[in-house]
Amino acid sequence: MPQVYIPALLRPCTNGQELVEAEGQTVRDVVASLETQYPGLRGRLVSEGRLLPNIAIGIDGEVSVLGLNETVPPDAEIQFLTAIKGG
């Protein structure tokens, strides 16, 4: 099952846990799974069906350009990163 690295500022939503498991074949599914486990977390990541502008998705350390639509390998680690602007 994919693991999700929770940034420090969002860890209050996951009871302080840094790494949590969440099911899903896409990042969108994973976010839905997170919301089921940790109500309120989705609102810190997504608005109106889109990632918040300050958030980027990393899959095993590589930034994805597909965001919520990115496919998630079963053993992947997903990271919610600070979006890079100006690069």
Q: Binding residues for other proteins, per CB under 8 A? A: 5, 7-9, 44, 52-55, 58-66, 77, 79-87
Q: Tell the smallest beta-carbon distance from residue 48 to other proteins (Å).
A: 12
Q: Tell the smallest beta-carbon distance from residue 59 to other proteins (Å).
A: 6
Q: Tell the smallest beta-carbon distance from residue 40 to other proteins (Å).
A: 13
Q: Is the CB of 25 or the CB of 54 nearer to other proteins?
A: 54
- b/e map of 25-47 (b: 16 or more CB within 10 Å)? eebbbbbbbbbebbeebbebbbe
Helix (H) or strand (E) holding 55: strand 55-59
From residue 76, alpha-carbon distances to 15, 23, 87 in Å are 22, 11, 26
